[in-house]
Each structure stands twice: as C-alpha cells, then as structure tokens.
Amino acid sequence: MSMARTTVSIHPVPTGLWAWRYLILRRLSQFGLLLLFFGTAHWGWALTEGTSLLSGNLSASEFIGLIPMADPFAVLQIFLTGHMLQTKVILGAAIVLGFYLLVGGRVFCAWVCPVNLVTDLAGWLRNRLDIHPLFHLSRQIRYWVLGVALVLSAISGVAAFEWVSPVGMMHREIIFGLGLGILALLAIFLFDLLTLKHGWCGHLCPLGAFYSLLGRTAPLRVRFDKSTCTRCGECARVCPEPQVLDLKRLATVGFVSAGECSNCGRCTPICPEGSLAFDFRPLIARHNAALEPRRTT
Amino acid sequence: MHNRREFLQRMTQGAALAGTGGLLWAYLLRQEVRAQPFALRPPGALAEADFNATCIKCGQCVNACPPHILNLATAGGSLPIGMPAYEPRTGPCVMCPDIPCVKNCPTGALNPGLTNIADARMGLAVIDSENCLSWKGLRCEICHRDCPLKGKAITVDPHPRLTSKHAVFVPVVHSDACTGCGICVKACPTAEPAIRILPARLVQGKIGDHYRLNGTGETAITQDFKPAPPPPPEAIPAKPGGLDVLNSGL
C-alpha cells in the first residue's frame, strides 16, 4: 500500500513538523515580534544602555535606536490630513514599504499582524465545527474600505483607520495595557467564526488591501508547475484567499501573481505533487522554461 | 452593453455601501476625537487638532519616559484612543532636562523645537481657593515648595483676611512660567487636590488688545493720554449743594 503511494507520487508529501514548517515559522515571527515589543516596553530590553531593542509598536518603531520603521498606510493617512511629518517617520515608512515590496505586501498579514492569530484561530475552529457562511460578500469590499479610509482622513483631519483599527488596538493593548480593544477582537473572532469565512482579513481589512496593492510586483512568490499539478484542489482548500489560486491563470503566468496572496505558505507543504513552492520571480521564469520542453516532449 | 451595465451597477452599489459605511465611520471618528478634552499631553505636544492628526500612536514616548507616567489611551476609555497622556495626581511629569519623550517621537507630534523643558506648556495649574489649606489660613504652601519652578510658576503672596489684622499667605500660579507638569497636584495634601492641571485653553481668558492698562508693563499706555482738564471755577456753584440746590428752581 505504502509502496504504491510512493510510486504514484512524484514528490513525497512531507510529514511531521516539516509539513508545518511555515505555520511554525509564522507563529514564531508573530509571537516573537510581540515579545520584542513587549520586552522593550516592560522589561527595558536594550542592546546597550539607552538603545532600546525594539521600541514602539507596529504603527511606528525603532530598532536598537538606529533603524526607524513605520506603517506606510498610517503615514499615508496622516499625509492626507494635511500635516507634514518628520523625516524619521517618513524614512521608517520607506524602509517598511521597501521590505514588503520585496517579500510581498501581505507578508505583513500572515507573518506579522497580531489579528491574524485571532482570525486563524477562528478559521481553524470554523473548519472543525463545519460552520457555513451566513452570507456572501465580495472580497473587493476591502478596496472600498481602503478608499473610504483615505477620503475620511482627508475630510476629518485625523488618520481615519488608525483611530478605529483593531490591528492597532490589539497591538497597543498587548504592549501598553489592556482596554476594551479586546472586545473589538472578540467581535472579529465571532464574525470570522460564525458569519463569514475569512471575514475580516479576507474581505474588510483596509490595511490588508493596502498591502495587497504592494504585493502585486513582489519578487517573492509561490511558483506553480503546471506540468505536475493534478488539479486536486488541496491548495485551494487550505488557502485563506482561494481566488488567488486560479489554476488557469497560474498555468499561464507560472506563479501566484495576485496581490492578495499573503505568502503564508499553507499551500506549499500540502501540495501532494510539490507543484507549489516559494521562489523568486526572476528565477521562476527560468525554472518554468527549463521544465517546459522536458515535460511536454 | 450588458457587461457595462453590470459594471456600472456594481460600482454604484460599491459606492453606496462605501458612502453609508463612511458616514457611520465619520460619526465614530467625530465622537472619538471629541472624547474628553482634559487630556494632558507630553511636553511639546502640538495644539489639539494637530496632535490628533500627527500622533501615530506608537508609544515610543511612553517607553522613553523615565518615571513611566505616560500611558496610551485604550479603546473605550474616556480619552481619545491610542494617544499618550498622563494623570498628575498619580504620576506628574518630572520635567527631564533632556526631554526624552520629545526626542523619541518619530512624527513631530511632540514638537522637536522644544529644547528647554521650562518652555513646555502641558497645561496650567488652577487653584480651588475654597478648598486650599493656605486660603483657609494654614501655612501649607506645599505646592509652592514642590514646584520645580517655584518663585516663577507658583509664588506665595499675602492676601488680606476679612477683618483680621493678619494676612493669609496663598499660592498664586503664574501662567507665563507654569509648565503644567502637575508635581503640585501630586503634592497637594487635601483629600481631593485643591490644585489641578487643566489645558490652558480651557481656563485662560483673553483681555483683548483694545484695553490699555496702566502700570502693567507690556500693556502700558503708549499713546498720549491726557486727563480731562479741571472744570473752570465759574462752573462750580457758589452755594453749597444738597437738597437746597435741587429745590433752588422752585
């Protein structure tokens, strides 16, 4: 039996911890960042006296008193209120923007954002309990929310999303002290669990929409080998944004090109044929070209 | 044609949803921005509207504050969300000479132009003279003694006490020097502090430029002001005044 399986499958399906490697790394990244922020705020973690390790939060921070970082979406909203900012925060936003332009915008969503911990838990529980969605909502809604956030920032004179953001609330309240922001997270949890699958991250969050726009040109992408793919659909089953795995489009482009892909890495270990793998865009073309003649002849 | 119609319809629907949601969102923002106006901000904070816009809610000032008096307002609290504030009764600003909170602000919501902490204007101390021990005749004056700018921000001045020969000595706050640090509030020994810090705009009046006050320095009379000349002697009635004058025409 097991012999038959290994001869059929071109690519041995990874088992054990190795199959969960991206999930484990994502959790390490998410909790690790929270811990670095928390340790700096509460236990005074510092490289040397006076140079805090990672001070601030996801809105803006400074690493070892040297490298500023800032949420480019927050900075954009503040710009739209008509205020000029200091170079430190603009430089910080540029650094973060550059990073996500390289690795894929929504890497923030899957690897950094603390709300992802809540929505992943809701998604996991939803699958276990087999809860069906209450209604359908277009995944494009988030771009409207993004637009409204920018327009409202210009009209109201404050950074519109930053004042209501559950992402900001969760991160701030974990690092700087609990408040009612926890209720907002409970709302997101229940919304994702009981009403709409991937409701917040996949439909509404304007920060995710902003990073989706950044992700369209990112070099780090999931490569797709159309010659080995058997169309089994395992990848789409675990993907939080299954519309990005449009196999027709993947076959022509050779990789997951949609900006909504968060490079979470759920699909790559689960693919029984190993048709999906992280790769860099320039290498993907070469890889696919090398495969093409061998497999088709 | 069908596709175009569908596209336009989807766009209109999206815009309608965005408009409805946007209005609700705008209402929420308005409520949040107008939350309690008594928040005391760190030194160098811009005027309220500018501070609300530019503070990115990162908490780097909170981390940098040596006595840990700053807190970011949590959701659902009485203060506008996410921005730093302090409560002087429990933790006043200790007025660090190097102002680390301002140095660590990445956006400039805390104005980097503030280099001398004595120039900070976080608020203004206000005294409740009905409950101040000094006003009751006790030689308390703790606020004056603890004031980091004593003699400038708070002085103790004699004040006549009703019909008594003795004066009371009362603390007097001077807005030209008070930074609003709140050390006086923490020091005040009454059960509820008789001295408080409020944002200056909530307690300070404005005279108006048209008043010319004599002897106060800046607003002293600069134009030629001549008192009215004394009336000519013939205008002064020779006869004594009083009721006789009133009846003189009868």
**A148 with A177, same domain?**
yes
**pLDDT tens column, A12-46:** 666 778 888 999 999 999 999 999 999 999 998 98
Q: What is the DSSP letter of A13?
A: P
Domain identity same for A178 and A250? no
A215-244: per-residue pLDDT in tens? Answer: 888 899 999 988 888 999 889 999 999 999
What's the CATH number where A274 sits?
Answer: 3.30.70
pLDDT (tens digit per residue) in B152-210: 999 999 988 877 778 899 999 999 999 999 999 999 999 999 999 999 988 999 888 88
DSSP-derived letter for residue A112 is: I
- Report if residue A98 sits inside a domain: yes
Nearest CA in chain A to B12: A144
The order of strands in the sheet holding A54-56 is A54-56, A60-63, A67-70
The verdict on A49 and A90 lying in the same domain is yes
| B110 and chain A in contact, CB less than 8 A | no
pLDDT of A169 strictly over 80: yes
Question: Which residues of chain A neighbour B76 with C-beta distances below 8 Å?
Answer: 179-181, 183
Q: Is residue A4 part of a domain?
A: no
| Whether the predicted pLDDT of A297 surpasses 50 | no
The span from the CA of B86 to the CA of B51, in Å, is 15
Average pLDDT on A1-22 reads 63
Q: Note which residues in 11-30 of chain B have CB less than 8 A from chain A.
A: 14-15, 17-18, 21-22, 25-26, 28-30
Q: For residue A6, is it within any domain?
A: no
* CA-based nearest distance B41→chain A, Å: 17
Of A57, A75, A148, the CB nearest to B59: A57
Contact A169 B32 (CB under 8 A): no
Name the band, by pLDDT with cuts 50, 70 and 90, for residue B249.
low
Taking only residues 57 to 86 of chain A, the set having a beta carbon closer than 8 angstroms to any beta carbon of chain B reads 57, 59-62, 68, 70-71, 74-75, 78, 81-86
Q: Which of B15, B49, B77 sits opposite A157 (nearest CB)?
A: B49
Residue A141: closest CA among A95, A209, A90:
A209
Range of the domain at A274: 219-296
Domain termination site, one of A213, A235, A253: A213
From chain A residues 230-269, the ones with a CB under 8 A of any chain B CB are: none
With bands split at pLDDT 50, 70 and 90, how would you rate the model's confidence at A2?
very low
Residue A250 has pLDDT above 50, yes or no: yes
User: pLDDT class for A116, splitting at 50, 70, 90?
Assistant: very high
What is the SS3 assignment for chain B? CHHHHHHHHHHHHHHHHHHHHHHHHHHHHHHHHCCCCCCECCCCECCHHHHHHHCCCCCHHHHHCCCCCCEECCCCCCCCCCCEEECCCCCCCCCCCCCHHHHHCCCCCECCCCCCHHHCCCCEEEECCCCCCHHHCCCCCHHHHHCCCECCCEEEEEEECCCCCCEEEEEEECCCCCCCCCHHHHHCCCCCCCEEEECHHHHCCCCCCCCCCCCCCCCCCCCCCCCCCCCCHHHCCCCCCCHHHHHCCC
Q: Among A131-145, B139-153, B222-236, where is mean pLDDT lowest? A: B222-236
Query: Are B22 and A148 an interchain contact pair (Cβ–Cβ within 8 Å)?
Result: yes
Chain A interface, best mutation among B60, B102, B104, B114, by max A CB count within 10 A = B60
Interval A272-283: pLDDT, tens: 888 899 988 888
A147 and A275 share one domain: no
CA separation, residue A182 to residues A27, A168, B75, B151 (Å) = 20, 11, 9, 47
Residue B130: per-residue pLDDT: 93
Q: Does the CB of A187 have a partner CB in chain B at under 8 Å?
A: no
Query: Within a domain: residue A9?
Result: no
A241 and A129 housed in the same domain: no
CB of B95 closer than 8 Å to CB of B181: yes
Please, what is the average pLDDT of chain B?
87
Alpha carbon of A98: minimum distance to chain B alpha carbons (Å): 19
The number of folded domains in chain A is: 2
Check pLDDT > 50 for residue A4: no
Same structural domain for residues A137 and A171? Answer: yes
Residues A200 and A247 in one domain: no
Q: What percent of chain A shows pLDDT beyond 90?
A: 59
State the Cα–Cα distance between residues A1 and A232, nearest whole angstrom: 20
A275 touches chain B (CB under 8 A): no
Report yes or no: B47 at the A interface, CB cutoff 8 Å: no
Residue A60 lies in a domain: yes
Q: Do B106 and A169 touch (CB under 8 A)?
A: no
**Residue among A83, A87, A162 with most chain B CBs within 10 A, to mutate:** A83
Domain stop point among A169, A188, A213:
A213
Query: Judged by CB atoms within 8 Å, which residues 228-247 of B form the interface with A?
Result: none
Q: With cut-offs at 50, 70 and 90, classify the pLDDT of residue B226.
A: low
> What does the pLDDT look like over B15-64, one tens digit per residue?
898 899 999 999 989 888 887 778 899 999 999 889 999 999 999 999 99
Average pLDDT over residues B128-151: 93
Size of interface A-B (CB pairs under 8 A): 151
- Does A25 contact chain B (CB < 8 Å)? no
pLDDT for A49: 79
Asked if A134 and A189 sit in the same domain, the reply is yes
CATH topology of domain B123-203: Alpha-Beta Plaits (3.30.70)
Residue A6 has pLDDT above 50, yes or no: no
**A127 and A232 co-located in one domain:** no
Residue A198 and residue A273 share a domain: no
Q: Which pLDDT value is given to residue B84?
A: 95
- Name the least confident of A22-26, A244-248, A282-286, B226-230: B226-230
**Residue A124 scores a pLDDT above 80:** yes
Same domain, A144 and A233: no
Local confidence band at B242 (pLDDT 50, 70, 90 cut-offs): low
Q: Which residues pair with B127 in a beta bridge?
A: B195
Q: CA of A184: which chain B residue's CA is closest?
A: B75
The domain ranges of chain B are 27-120, 123-203
CB-CB under 8 Å, B75 with A181:
yes
ipTM: 0.86
> In the predicted model, what is the mean pLDDT of residues B104-127?
94
> A155, A190, A213 — which closes off a domain?
A213
B35 and chain A in contact, CB less than 8 A: no
pLDDT: is B80 or B225 the higher one?
Answer: B80
Instruction: Name beta bridge partners: B141.
Output: none
pTM of the predicted protein model: 0.84
CB neighbour class for B144 (10 Å; exposed up to 12, middle 13-18, buried from 19): buried
Q: Are residues A244 and A269 in the same domain?
A: yes
Q: Does residue A188 belong to any structural domain of this protein?
A: yes
Least CB–CB distance from A78: residue in B54, B60, B105: B54
Q: Is residue A59 part of a domain?
A: yes
The pLDDT of residue B53 is: 93
pLDDT higher than threshold 50 for residue A185: yes
- Tell whether A15 is covered by a domain: no
Comparing CB atoms, the residue among A70, A75, A180 nearest residue B75 is A180
